[in-house]
Amino acid sequence: MYQIKINGIVQGVGFRPFIYKLATEQKLTGFVLNSTSGVLIEAEGNKNSLDKFIYRIKNELPPAAKINEFQFEEFPDKRYDTFEIRMSSRSKGSTLISPDLAVCDDCINEFNDHDDLRFQYAFINCTNCGPRYSIIEDTPYDRPVTSMKSFVMCDYCEGEYKDPLNRRFHAQPVACPQCGPQLQFLDKDLSPILGNPIENTIRDLKDGKIIGIKGIGGFHIACDATNYNAVELLRQRKNRPHKPFAVMCNEANISDIVIINYEHLKLLKSPAAPIVILPKRSNSEGLNREIKIAENVAPQNPNIGIFLPYAPHHYQFVTEELPFVIMTSGNNSNEPIARTENELQELCDCFLTHNRPILNRSDDSIILPAKEQNILIRRSRGFVPSPIKLPSQTVPTLGCGAELKLTFSLSRKNDLFISPYIGNSGSKETMDFYLETYEKYLKWFKLKPELIACDLQPDFATTRFAENTKLPLVKVQHHHAHISAIMAEHKLDEKVIGISYDGTGYGTDAAIWGGEIFIADHTNFERLFHLNYMPLPGGDAAITHPIRIAYAYSIAAGANTELVNGISELERNVIQKQLQNSFNVFQTSSMGRLFDCISAMLGLFPTITFEAQSAMALEFLCGNVSVSDSEPYSFEISEDIIDIRPIIIEVSKDIQKGVDHKVISQKFHKTIIDFTLASVQKTSVVSGLNKVVLSGGVMQNRILLNGLIETLTRNNFTVYTPRNLSPNDGSISVGQVMIANRIIGS
């Protein structure tokens, strides 16, 4: 008899019927069982069949299943008569929870089949698809501990649920129109509107209304992406003047609006169904069709984030008739994604909702395709709460994250459980969501942190939270955490050259760092080079007014300040005084601020309305080209400083000479690549190191990222870049866990 223990994503993904089917085919007897510590199998039969059974388990896995650990032992036979699926047992230990999965092709075929019981039923699912994380209360995953517990299965559904050879065997959310959840359409006051909820939705979307739509991990706010006025209305209500919106597309119409290849389509259609950022198709390449999305969906941006329907009801209103629907996260500003309609009454004209509660929220995940890899810039729905593997064992540790793009991470041995995307602020609502999710993770995964890590920045809500726990606390420098996270992703556990190009991170000298070249491992870092400190008058106020940065940097560099346009006399005077008296002036080596400076000098955005708006504009100005043949500006590297003042002076001269701004942007990007290479080479000479890790929010700039990979590789460095962990602050919590463990954990 073989006793087999399997851990990983093996519950709620059709694993037990799969085992049952294999065992029956191999003529084995015994049982399969879900327990809190994973799947347990006992199987008897002839040796050949048993070995074949094991081989087939590993090689024919259901699409959404994933094996992390596989152990087996031989015992004397117990003489089982049959093979059976046994009920869950509650034992000590812990297992994993599957992420939410996009509706599968088999279910969509039934959904579109007039003769099927679940024809056009918005809650169709099976063991290969449907909600998981969002509906779970506790482990092990079983219907009575999900938000489906109040729906009593009808005979038909129960028959499928109990049939080991059925696709819905033990599919916990199984339901049909007779017994399961229902859609409902509500007006602004949350009163039910009669009629078919989907027809009402389509009618109101076409009428230019703003609709709150309850989905899997939370609400979306939707409007017709082809309707300029509707999009404008949505922008006003959300107080979001420029930031791009994501668009859910009817699959057949995708190539009308973006340039897409087979790999991108595969990503869009994967069970995680992420948003993928793709280049817009320009008019000249258009297919002469009438349908185009309104220009205010992603204004002044060559790219757009698109995704495909992933819940069954999405397929009902995103159709040929209405192929492009804005589906933006349903939240009020500085708040996390909403799970009930009453949170969004101020923003929406009406609601498409349903009566299956959302227990655990997660925003849509976002993938940014780059030249050689895709970067998961937001790891949330479809990925959480699956753990990632750390390169080494840890004591149970909580990494609290930073503030923007907030996540936390909890470790158990070498598993790391990263939270969904929590939010972009330290607001009370965001921190409530953070704590609620934290408590759930502790319960589900049976975690009890013994160590806690937070950012060095004293003002973050997460720092205060960490300080208030009584646990041993390690405060981790922001950019060290950025580098450690990407090292962890690549299982690197040695000294590397780490480059962190970022917006803001608190330095050990209390300055604002962000243009950093370190020698680092998971324990220590040494700051080899950084951009020279420049004055940031007013701190955060300057960050939303890049023109003030351009003015202050121009003064500091000795460039011609008369060329800085779009700044009032009053602002000039105030900044001059601030600089003279060093009043409320912060010192910064931030790469993000250097981008803001150059962008504002070129007149792109004197003020911004979302993070990185001006830096992105400068990237887009380059066009879709390599900058390898551009002429760089001058820079000086001395001691540990990369002096950027010559760059500012020369950009200023180019502006005066009337050089094309596109050329200036290309030269600027080339300069960063060149001074990075020069500093990395110097670092390599003194250290003998050859591995280079790239991280930090600025690495989302694909001109820069692709250029750095290409240049460093050509110069014989081995380059490691963010892939499944984000370069931005979303993965700060990962690095914090690694570093805290090395410092006092082990």
> Contacts for 713-718 with beta carbons within 8 Å, 24 or more apart?
715/677, 715/681, 716/690, 717/497, 717/680, 717/684, 717/690, 717/691, 717/692, 718/690, 718/691, 718/692
Q: How far is the CB of 22 from Zn ion (least distance, A)?
A: 20
SS3 state of residue 61: coil
Q: How far is the CB of 104 from Zn ion (least distance, A)?
A: 3
Q: How far is the CB of 162 from Zn ion (least distance, A)?
A: 13
SS3 state of residue 512: strand
C-beta of 178 vs 718, nearer to Zn ion: 178
Strand partners, 417: 410
Q: H/E/C letters for each residue in 106-136?
A: HHHHHHCCCCCCCCCCCCCCECCEECCHHHE
C-beta of 179 vs 663, nearer to Zn ion: 179
Cβ-contact 630, 538 below 8 angstroms? no
C-beta of 154 vs 637, nearer to Zn ion: 154
Compute the Cα dihedral for 139, 144, 148, 149 and give only its sign. Answer: negative
Q: Select from 631, 466, 630, 650 the least CA-distant residue to 559.
A: 650
C-beta of 179 vs 743, nearer to Zn ion: 179
C-beta of 104 vs 642, nearer to Zn ion: 104
Q: How far is the CB of 170 from Zn ion (least distance, A)?
A: 13
Cβ-contact 675, 637 below 8 angstroms? yes
Residues 6 or more apart from 95 whose CB is under 8 A from it?
Answer: 7, 10, 11, 34, 35, 36, 37, 38, 139, 140
Q: How far is the CB of 366 from Zn ion (least distance, A)?
A: 24
C-beta of 125 vs 614, nearer to Zn ion: 125
Among 107, 402, 597, 734, binds Zn ion (CB under 5 A): 107
Q: Which two tokens stand for residue 197?
A: 């909820």
Q: How far is the CB of 95 from Zn ion (least distance, A)?
A: 22
Determine the length of the chain.
746
C-beta of 272 vs 680, nearer to Zn ion: 272
Cα separation, 2 vs 77, whole angstroms: 8
Cα separation, 642 vs 679, whole angstroms: 8
C-beta of 159 vs 195, nearer to Zn ion: 159
The dihedral over CA atoms of 155, 157, 160, 161, expressed in degrees to the nearest 10, equals: -100
Q: Given the rule CB under 5 A, which of 2-10, 99-107, 294-302, 646-654 is the region that contacts Zn ion?
A: 99-107
Q: How far is the CB of 152 from Zn ion (least distance, A)?
A: 9
Question: What kind and span of H or E run contains 557?
Answer: helix 546-557
Cβ-contact 516, 500 below 8 angstroms? yes
Residues 477-516 that bind Zn ion (CB under 5 A): none
Residues 152-191: x/- map of binding to Zn ion (CB under 5 A)?
A: --x--x------------------x-xx------------
Cα separation, 259 vs 652, whole angstroms: 36
C-beta of 27 vs 162, nearer to Zn ion: 162
C-beta of 42 vs 110, nearer to Zn ion: 110
DSSP output for 635-658: -EEETTEEE-HHHHHHHHHHHHHT
Residues 535-564 that bind Zn ion (CB under 5 A): none
C-beta of 356 vs 412, nearer to Zn ion: 356
SS3 state of residue 415: strand
Q: Select from 735, 741, 705 the least CA-distant residue to 720.
A: 705
State the amino acid at position 550 in one-letter form. A
Q: How far is the CB of 142 from Zn ion (least distance, A)?
A: 18
Q: How far is the CB of 171 from Zn ion (least distance, A)?
A: 8
Q: Which two tokens stand for residue 253?
A: 């119409």
Q: How far is the CB of 180 from Zn ion (least distance, A)?
A: 6
C-beta of 124 vs 598, nearer to Zn ion: 124
Among 19, 43, 54, 104, binds Zn ion (CB under 5 A): 104
Residues 116-135: x/- map of binding to Zn ion (CB under 5 A)?
A: ----------x-xx------
C-beta of 173 vs 722, nearer to Zn ion: 173
The dihedral over CA atoms of 737, 741, 743, 745, expressed in degrees to the nearest 10, equals: 140
C-beta of 128 vs 139, nearer to Zn ion: 128
> Percentages helix, strand, coil for the chain, rounded to the nearest 5?
35, 25, 45
Cα separation, 412 vs 389, whole angstroms: 10
Q: How far is the CB of 168 from Zn ion (least distance, A)?
A: 8
Q: How far is the CB of 701 from Zn ion (least distance, A)?
A: 39
Q: Given the rule CB under 5 A, which of 44-52, 148-156, 298-306, 397-405 is the region that contacts Zn ion?
A: 148-156
Based on the number of CB atoms within 10 Å of its own CB, is 544 exposed (0-12), middle (13-18) or buried (19 or more)? middle
> Contacts for 420-424 with beta carbons within 8 Å, 24 or more apart?
420/217, 420/360, 420/361, 420/362, 420/363, 420/380, 420/381, 420/384, 420/385, 421/362, 421/363, 421/378, 421/379, 421/380, 421/730, 422/336, 423/331, 423/334, 423/335, 423/336, 424/334, 424/611
C-beta of 171 vs 591, nearer to Zn ion: 171
The dihedral over CA atoms of 69, 74, 80, 82, expressed in degrees to the nearest 10, equals: 40
Based on the number of CB atoms within 10 Å of its own CB, is 499 exposed (0-12), middle (13-18) or buried (19 or more)? buried
Q: How far is the CB of 10 from Zn ion (least distance, A)?
A: 17
State the amino acid at position 582 in one-letter form. S
C-beta of 67 vs 108, nearer to Zn ion: 108
Per CB under 5 A, 618 contacts Zn ion: no
Q: How far is the CB of 175 from Zn ion (least distance, A)?
A: 6
Q: Select from 264, 16, 319 the least CA-distant residue to 140.
A: 16
Q: How far is the CB of 110 from Zn ion (least distance, A)?
A: 8
Q: How far is the CB of 136 from Zn ion (least distance, A)?
A: 18
Cβ-contact 138, 445 below 8 angstroms? no
C-beta of 126 vs 377, nearer to Zn ion: 126
Q: How far is the CB of 156 from Zn ion (least distance, A)?
A: 5
Residues 644-683 that bind Zn ion (CB under 5 A): none
Residues forming contacts to Zn ion in the complex (CB under 5 A) are 104, 107, 126, 128-129, 154, 157, 176, 178-179
